[in-house]
Amino acid sequence: MFWFGCDCFYWSRGFSELDSEPSEPKPFSLPSPLPRWPQGKGFATGRINLGELEVVKITKFHKVWSSGSSHGKSKGVAFYRAEEVPQGFHSLGHYCQPIDKPLRGYVLAARASKPTKTDDPPPLKKPVGYTLVSSVDGGGGYFWLPNPPAGYKAMGVIVTDKPKEPETEEVRCVREDLTESCETSEMILSKKSNPFSVWTVQPCERGMRAQGVSVGTFFSCTYELSSHETVRDIACLKNLDPTLHAMPNLNQVHAVIKHYGPTVYFHPEETYMPSSVQWFFKNGALLYPQGEPISSTGSNLPAGGSNDLKFWIDLPEEEEAKSYLKKGNLESSELYVHVKPALGGTFTDVAMWIFCPFNGPATLKIGLFTLPMTRIGEHVGDWEHFTFRVCNFSGELWEMFFSQHSGGGWVDASEIEFVKGNKAAVYSSKHGHASFPHPGMYLQGSSKFGIGVRNDVAKSEYVVESSERYVVVAAEYLGGVVDEPCWLQYMREWGPVIEYDSGSEISKIMDLLPLVVRFSFENIVDLFPVALYGEEGPTGPKEKDNWEGDELC
């Protein structure tokens, strides 16, 4: 893993877009049918109990209206009303998405999970009316904010294609104590002439202990908003059921992993392969500052606490043993699985961690020039991961997070490469082991200057089947059913601090460049991340923010 900051660097991968766009998004479905999951409580039963509310996920829609342009693109956005809502349930809002993508979304519908006492306020009420937020495209689309009764919250904005105010029967508002605050996520429509914008929304608090539940609705306004800004006029739901009954039991977890576990491809020229943690310990890894051998289970590692910098792991000093350990051992490698609730227990995140004993040197790209480094980027002990998110209403794969050094991003299931049934491909970058959804070259750096660190990924015979070679190491919500290994409790660094003689390497780069390029290069050397000048050994999975928190958004 290369520990680069994200302030000045970003990911760039070139691609071409078709000029034409579909008039109607086509519904997306996974390549293979879902299996019959093992028996459990509420996982994949179609309904989830949130305490006082029972909710269902609606994926059948009727298009209300579409706009001709969206934020930063010439693509349209379509707005939908929920259809085929089960009897007794009420839609909580409308859904929208760009029309150049497969129809891929949902809106929750809700009903009271038990009869309400006469004196108690019901969990759901009709809005008392609507406020017109804006009309766009010359009056083609009308955006309405439900006006909730006192003590209730609206769940999202709705759309009509006529100026008449919607019927109050269209949606329901939710009692305030059953809701959580939400924030903007992605702007998908912007009209600068109004001004006007439409945003997807998500719970403000996310992670395995957070209670916020995404409703699938959207927000629109005529004032400036930025991403991750709290929205005051609408809310999301809150899961008040402490049992999280819709989460999979251990048998269902194994079935989910065996059905969806991705195929991990390492680069055909990869030198530094993954290994199991046990192989790493058995073949000479040492615990410092004393330089003592580590037991195969990690039982003599200091457990708990935080990274106090008093302990670290390193390779043996003897060169032959060190070289052997650096190369890893693909045959022993396995994925270490952390299963956790997401979005209030309405989704399950299956985080799959892979360990590599050594992270190799970086390769720089400077315009048309590719320059392999000798030592820059190297460090001992490399932990990388990817996460697949499964919908607890159906057991359907929803999206995947690909971790890329200290960044990464979510990829919808409709944009994933499937290689075997519903198993996705994960491509591990050469030397750095970052995860990517498709083969190619990804540049971490400045696309404007064409300078940065190359991340090359490709298929090869070096493969790990995560559906077969995995160990579930943690699932806290199951209450002690999973025994966590000793090494998982080690919160310190898995490698020593390394300082590079970067000046010497930069001078060598300068000598290789044509004279016409050297002056420009001298001016943009500062664009390289500070990690080119030194590396700290990474901490283990449990010390990462995303162990309990959400992945980057």
pLDDT, tens digit, 9 for 90 and up, residues 219-246 = 999 998 999 999 999 999 999 999 999 9
Token digits of residue 5: 């900051």
The pLDDT mean for the chain works out to 88
What integer pLDDT is reported at residue 191 of this predicted model?
78
Tell me: pLDDT of 8 over 50: no
User: How many domains in the chain?
Assistant: 2
Q: Please identify, among 238, 264, 282, the residue that sits at the C-terminal boundary of a domain.
A: 238
Give the domain extent around 95.
Answer: 47-238
Task: Identify the weakest region by mean pLDDT among 12-16, 217-221, 300-304, 413-417.
Answer: 12-16
What are the start-end ranges of the E strands in 284-438?
286-288, 292-293, 312-314, 335-342, 347-359, 363-366, 369-372, 379-391, 397-404, 407-412, 418-420, 423-428, 435-436
Residues 65 and 173 reside in one and the same domain: yes
Q: Which two tokens stand for residue 384?
A: 């990388």
Residue 1: its pLDDT value, please? 42
In tens, the pLDDT along 132-167 reads 999 987 778 999 999 999 999 999 999 999 999 999
| Residue at 287: amino acid letter | L
Closest CA to 467 of 429, 424, 436, 437: 424
pLDDT value of residue 508: 64
Residue 128 pLDDT = 98
Alpha-carbon 20 to chain mean position: 29
Q: Are residues 202 and 284 in the same domain?
A: no
Average pLDDT of the segment spanning 449-463: 87
**Rounded to an integer, what distance in angstroms lies between the CA atom of residue 145 and that of residue 293?**
64
Using CA atoms, how far apart are residues 512 and 534, in angstroms rounded to an integer? Answer: 23
338 and 397 together in one domain: yes
510 and 413 within one domain: yes
Within this chain, do residues 220 and 294 fall inside the same structural domain, yes or no? no
451 is written with which tokens? Answer: 């300078």
Tell me which residue of 283, 306, 303 sits closest to 293, measured CA to CA.
283
Same structural domain for residues 465 and 336? yes
Joined tokens for residue 117 = 């006492």
The Cα–Cα gap between 290 and 302 comes to 13
What H or E segment, with its residue span, contains residue 277? helix 277-282
Residues 305 and 360 grouped into a single domain: yes
Q: Judge if 406 and 522 occupy the same domain.
A: yes
Which residues pair with residue 383 across a beta bridge?
355
Residue 531 is predicted with a pLDDT of: 46
**Confidence at residue 192, expressed as pLDDT on a 0 to 100 scale:** 72
- At residue 405, the pLDDT reads 76
More confident residue, 456 or 201: 201
Q: Is 320 helix (H, G, I), strand (E, B) or coil?
A: helix
Give a yes or no: residue 11 inside a domain. Answer: no
Tens of pLDDT, residues 182-200: 999 999 998 777 789 999 9
**Is there a single domain that holds both residue 231 and residue 297?**
no
Given this model, what pLDDT does residue 372 score? 72
- pLDDT for 370 equals 75
Q: Specify the higher pLDDT residue, 114 or 328.
A: 328
Domain-located, residue 550: no
pLDDT (0 to 100) of residue 507: 63
Q: What is the pLDDT at residue 96? A: 97
pLDDT of res. 70: 45
Pairing of strands 470-474, 440-446: unpaired
**448 against 289, higher pLDDT:** 289
The pLDDT, as a whole number, for residue 367 is 74
Domain limit, last residue, from 189, 217, 238:
238
- The confidence score (pLDDT) of residue 510 equals 62
Q: Is the pLDDT of residue 20 over 60?
A: no
Asked whether residue 16 is assigned to any structural domain, the reply reads no
In angstroms, the CA 126 to CA 174 distance is 9
Based on its alpha-carbon atoms, the radius of gyration of the chain, rounded to whole angstroms, reads 26
- pLDDT tens, 333-367? 999 999 999 999 999 999 999 999 998 887 777 77
Q: Answer yes or no: is 360 within a domain.
A: yes
Same domain, 444 and 352: yes
CB 161 within 8 Å of CB 65: yes
Residue 287 lies in a domain: yes
Task: Answer yes or no: is 154 within a domain.
Answer: yes
pLDDT in the model for residue 384:
93
SS3 for 106-131 is CEEEEEECCCCCCCCCCCEECCCEEE
Residue 28 domain flag? no
- pLDDT for 15 equals 34
Q: What is the pLDDT of residue 451?
A: 74
In a domain, 380, yes or no: yes
For residues 326 and 213, membership in a common domain is answered with no
205 lies in the same domain as 271: no
Distances in whole angstroms, Cα of residue 40 to Cα of each of 45, 53, 124, 247, 506 = 9, 21, 29, 9, 59
- The pLDDT assigned to 377 comes to 73
More confident residue, 140 or 547: 547
Query: Which of 238, 265, 285 is where one domain is finished?
Result: 238
